[in-house]
Chain A
Amino acid sequence: MKAKPQLILTFVLMAVFCFVLVSSLSFPLGVRIYAWFAAVWGLIMSISYLVIQFRKQGGNAEASPSAKINVRRMVMWFGSIAGVMLGTWLFGYGVAALLFVLSYLKMNGRGWVESVGLTALVALLLWGFFNSVLHTSWIDGVVPLWLGF
């Protein structure tokens, strides 16, 4: 089947619409109708799309030569994002953001001077502009709390 990722996504969406239909049974009628309207509409569109896709015939999409490199970059990128999330939860955003910038630059082969310089610039923006001038707040980590800071 040519459109395999699209089909998987369509089934996921259909599952969401079915979940909405079933779970909204417990809502009062006035609340339920709007949810049902959207879910039924979504289901009809998804089923119509599936019917059209199944009637189309096509071969499997071939993997491109750069697919492996893309997967590596994807793992690196989303891994970095997961790292920021974990770092924010543990140490707070002020620390996690700096670690993210430094590690991402180094992972992408940038020199130490450039990486540290840009991280320092980000630190200046975070603490000097966002924190001191704009008074924006960010998430505090659990470790400083545990340590009593």
Chain B
Amino acid sequence: MNIEAMGTALGVLLSPTGAIFLMLGTCVGLTVGAIPGLSGIVGMTLLLPFILPLEPEVAILMFIGVTAVTHTGDTVPAVLFGVPGTAGAMATVVDGYPMAKKGEAARALSAAYTVSAMGGVIGAVFLLATVPIVRELVLLMKSPELLMMALMGLSMVGVLATRAPLMGLALAAFGLLVSQVGTHLATGTCRWWFGQAYLVDGVPTIPAILGIFGFTEMSDLAIRSTKISAKAEELGKGAWQGVRDGFHHWFLMLRCSAIGVWIGVIPGVGAAVADWMAYGHAVQTEKPRESFGTGDVRGVIASESANNSKAGGSLLPTLAFGVPGSGSMIVLLAAFTMLGVVPGPKLFTETPQLIYVIIWGLAVANIIGCLLCFALTKPMAKICQMPIAILAPLVMVFLFIGVQQTTNTMWDLYTLVFFGILGYILKKVDWPRIPIVLGLVLGGIIERYLFISNASYGISWLWRPGVIIIFLLTIAGVIYASRGMGQVSKGERR
């Protein structure tokens, strides 16, 4: 560990310029995270033209501020309206929104902010600890292992669709099929595109997710003509309880942060997978588990700690190899290029102070983001009392803007409405919506890594030690969870 470089980096962070630009990046990150459909990519692209006159360290601090807290800001619409601000907040909706309905919005938000900050700091510490072994760590996971990780994520359907398990599995199959729409990467075969150029690249995830969650929840509220929460007197209460929840479930937070970091290290997997993996892990391992999905703070803690710690993990391949782990990392790489910073192993040896600026920035931005959001928790929780006749059109305006950022055509709106109506029907018949989303998000990853694994290793990839270990872990997880579910069902019958 280079103490001198660490000190220099801390000096940059504490300088007025460094602090101001980190704060600016943090505010932009929180804002774009809180607007459904926008993401860290939009925030960073927005700042890109302004970085050239800045010192590289200061400019990078600003970008780290954006990327660190986007998943803190996306909690706000996820909890208050059931609309995930980004794809990484989908699992937060499952328990966060029912908590808001019960009048516990402030508790859910403050628990989310607390663990987001802790998860973000864990991500930064992980980045610090892995600097010496970064190469070995990234190369440990090859396509067969990544395929098994995705299958492990898909196995969560069994855990997350307990009310209608058979149809949960059928809907996951439907999600997998939707993910196959468009061009097959290896053969160029165009599947189920019905002559529409829009579908050649596949069904875009953002309009589909915003439809299934956001459109559905707003439709349900508008049709029932009800407020999000009827408990006016309790709104804003429980903010400190949420902070205590965060610390009380520290071990869950730690485990889910580790999942987030690990998923972040794997290029191309994304925050949505980290989110669901962590949530599924919480449902599998925590007891009692029957309250998950009905407004359990542990569900919020699991997903929020994972999506914030993921930032630290995804910076690792970006910095060490110049391999961007996500869309926002691609913009970060573009910023590096503009600033004349070349990512790669030499970055760690020749300019260590830059790496430490990133690590410090990541940790401090998460704490600042948490404090800023915490200060606004009580007023924001009161949104739940807004009449739905006012709230619904306002939220829908944001939703429509968000989805139009995908291709800027009417097809984005059609996709939103199609999945929104599908989600609404599923909600009315009390079938789970999560399996479709899991199938949709993981389907493309599974197909890609299955093809690469077969092409690279033939059938022998099945016998790789990593594959066998992850497979056994998946089986053990499913058996353990189904035993627990069986006990819950017996208890319910009694």
Contacts and interface: CB of A to CB of B under 8 A. Distances in A.
Q: Tell me whether A and B are bound partners.
A: yes
B455 to A, nearest CB: 10
B42 A31 contact: no
20 contacts: A6-B429, A16-B174, A30-B187, A31-B189, A38-B176, A39-B173, A46-B170, A73-B223, A85-B410, A85-B413, A93-B400, A100-B393, A101-B393, A101-B397, A125-B397, A126-B397, A134-B42, A134-B46, A136-B404, A139-B404
Mostly, the A contact residues are helix
Given A42-B177, A101-B394, A108 B189 contact: no
Interface of B: 32, 38, 42, 46, 164, 166-167, 169-171, 173-174, 176-177, 180, 184, 186-187, 189, 191-192, 219, 222-225, 389-390, 392-394, 396-397, 400-401, 404-405, 408-410, 413-414, 417, 421, 425-426, 428-429, 431, 439, 443, 446-447, 450-451
Nearest to A96: B400
Contacts of A101: 393-394, 397
With a 10 A CB-CB cut-off, give which of B176, B400, B414 has the most chain A CB atoms. B400
Contacts of B187: 28, 30-31
Contacts of A85: 410, 413-414, 417
Contact of B390 (A24, A74, A118): A118
Contacts of A35: 177, 180, 191
Contacts of A24: 191
Contact of B413 (A16, A41, A88): A88
Contact of B191 (A31, A48, A84, A93): A31
A92 to B, nearest CB: 11
A35 B414 CA distance: 24
B397 A97 contact: yes
Interface in A60-89: 70, 73-74, 77-78, 80-81, 84-85, 88-89
Contacts of A74: 223
B394 A122 contact: yes
Nearest to B404: A138
A6 B431 contact: yes
* 3 A-B pairs with the lowest CB-CB distances in the bound complex, closest first: A42-B173, A108-B389, A45-B170
Interface string A15-50: 011001001100110110011001101100110110
Contacts of B400: 84, 88, 93, 97
A5 to B, nearest CB: 5
A57 interface: no
Contacts of B404: 93, 136-139
A55 interface: no
A27 B166 CA distance: 28
